[in-house]
Amino acid sequence: MDFSFVHTNINVLDLEKTLRFYRDALGLKEMRRKEAADGSFTLVFLGNETNSYQIELTWLKDREKPYDLGDNETHLAFRTNDFEAARTLHETMGCISHENKIFGIYFIEDPDGYQIEILPVRK
Protein backbone atom coordinates (compact mmCIF):
# COMPACT_ATOMS: atom_id res chain seq x y z
CA MET A 1 0.00 0.00 0.00
CA ASP A 2 1.44 3.38 -1.06
CA PHE A 3 0.45 6.87 0.03
CA SER A 4 1.20 10.18 -1.66
CA PHE A 5 1.24 13.55 0.06
CA VAL A 6 -1.32 15.64 -1.85
CA HIS A 7 -2.05 18.95 -0.09
CA THR A 8 -2.22 20.95 3.12
CA ASN A 9 -5.31 23.01 3.94
CA ILE A 10 -5.30 26.43 5.54
CA ASN A 11 -8.28 28.69 6.22
CA VAL A 12 -8.03 32.28 5.01
CA LEU A 13 -9.99 35.44 5.77
CA ASP A 14 -9.32 37.43 2.58
CA LEU A 15 -8.98 35.08 -0.39
CA GLU A 16 -7.78 37.65 -2.93
CA LYS A 17 -5.15 39.10 -0.58
CA THR A 18 -3.89 35.59 0.21
CA LEU A 19 -3.79 34.61 -3.47
CA ARG A 20 -1.68 37.70 -4.23
CA PHE A 21 0.67 36.92 -1.33
CA TYR A 22 1.35 33.32 -2.41
CA ARG A 23 1.76 34.38 -6.04
CA ASP A 24 4.14 37.25 -5.24
CA ALA A 25 6.08 35.66 -2.36
CA LEU A 26 6.39 32.07 -3.59
CA GLY A 27 5.41 32.04 -7.26
CA LEU A 28 2.42 29.77 -6.64
CA LYS A 29 -0.51 29.86 -8.99
CA GLU A 30 -4.09 28.71 -8.87
CA MET A 31 -4.30 25.13 -10.11
CA ARG A 32 -8.02 24.62 -9.57
CA ARG A 33 -10.98 26.06 -7.70
CA LYS A 34 -14.16 24.65 -6.23
CA GLU A 35 -17.13 26.84 -5.29
CA ALA A 36 -19.85 25.56 -2.97
CA ALA A 37 -23.20 25.37 -4.76
CA ASP A 38 -24.70 27.70 -2.15
CA GLY A 39 -21.74 30.11 -2.24
CA SER A 40 -20.84 29.44 1.40
CA PHE A 41 -17.20 28.56 0.72
CA THR A 42 -14.50 28.51 -1.92
CA LEU A 43 -11.55 26.13 -2.14
CA VAL A 44 -8.51 27.20 -4.15
CA PHE A 45 -5.59 24.86 -4.75
CA LEU A 46 -2.20 26.51 -5.28
CA GLY A 47 0.87 24.90 -6.75
CA ASN A 48 3.70 25.13 -9.24
CA GLU A 49 5.49 23.03 -11.82
CA THR A 50 8.24 22.01 -9.38
CA ASN A 51 6.17 19.26 -7.75
CA SER A 52 2.61 18.00 -7.42
CA TYR A 53 2.12 19.04 -3.78
CA GLN A 54 -0.46 21.81 -3.28
CA ILE A 55 -1.78 24.22 -0.68
CA GLU A 56 -5.56 24.26 -0.37
CA LEU A 57 -6.96 27.63 0.69
CA THR A 58 -10.41 27.52 2.26
CA TRP A 59 -12.40 30.76 2.29
CA LEU A 60 -15.67 30.80 4.25
CA LYS A 61 -18.15 33.43 3.06
CA ASP A 62 -19.55 34.30 6.49
CA ARG A 63 -16.19 34.47 8.29
CA GLU A 64 -15.58 38.04 9.48
CA LYS A 65 -12.82 37.78 12.07
CA PRO A 66 -9.24 36.51 11.73
CA TYR A 67 -8.50 32.92 12.66
CA ASP A 68 -6.92 32.36 16.07
CA LEU A 69 -3.82 30.29 15.42
CA GLY A 70 -3.04 30.20 19.14
CA ASP A 71 0.25 28.54 19.98
CA ASN A 72 0.30 26.77 16.64
CA GLU A 73 3.90 25.79 16.00
CA THR A 74 3.27 24.15 12.64
CA HIS A 75 4.52 25.72 9.43
CA LEU A 76 4.96 25.16 5.73
CA ALA A 77 8.49 24.97 4.29
CA PHE A 78 9.83 25.90 0.86
CA ARG A 79 13.32 25.38 -0.53
CA THR A 80 14.66 27.91 -3.02
CA ASN A 81 17.56 27.72 -5.45
CA ASP A 82 18.27 31.46 -4.98
CA PHE A 83 18.12 32.09 -1.24
CA GLU A 84 19.55 35.62 -1.36
CA ALA A 85 17.14 36.79 -4.08
CA ALA A 86 14.23 35.24 -2.15
CA ARG A 87 15.31 36.95 1.05
CA THR A 88 15.60 40.30 -0.74
CA LEU A 89 12.10 39.85 -2.23
CA HIS A 90 10.58 38.93 1.12
CA GLU A 91 12.37 41.77 2.88
CA THR A 92 10.97 44.19 0.27
CA MET A 93 7.49 42.72 0.80
CA GLY A 94 7.88 43.18 4.56
CA CYS A 95 6.78 39.64 5.33
CA ILE A 96 9.86 38.21 7.09
CA SER A 97 8.73 37.30 10.60
CA HIS A 98 11.99 35.94 12.00
CA GLU A 99 15.36 34.64 10.96
CA ASN A 100 17.73 31.98 12.26
CA LYS A 101 21.14 32.91 10.91
CA ILE A 102 22.80 29.98 12.68
CA PHE A 103 20.68 27.52 10.66
CA GLY A 104 20.69 29.75 7.57
CA ILE A 105 16.90 29.95 7.31
CA TYR A 106 14.14 32.50 7.79
CA PHE A 107 10.37 32.55 8.08
CA ILE A 108 7.79 34.65 6.31
CA GLU A 109 4.23 35.20 7.48
CA ASP A 110 1.19 35.09 5.23
CA PRO A 111 -1.79 37.48 5.62
CA ASP A 112 -3.49 35.10 8.08
CA GLY A 113 -0.43 34.59 10.27
CA TYR A 114 0.68 31.20 8.95
CA GLN A 115 4.45 30.75 9.11
CA ILE A 116 6.45 29.62 6.07
CA GLU A 117 10.05 28.50 6.43
CA ILE A 118 12.41 29.42 3.59
CA LEU A 119 15.37 27.10 3.12
CA PRO A 120 18.34 27.29 0.77
CA VAL A 121 19.47 24.35 -1.35
CA ARG A 122 22.14 22.58 0.69
CA LYS A 123 25.10 20.92 -0.98
- What residues act catalytically? 117
CB 19 within 8 A of CB 59: no
User: 44: closest CA among 66, 29, 64?
Assistant: 29
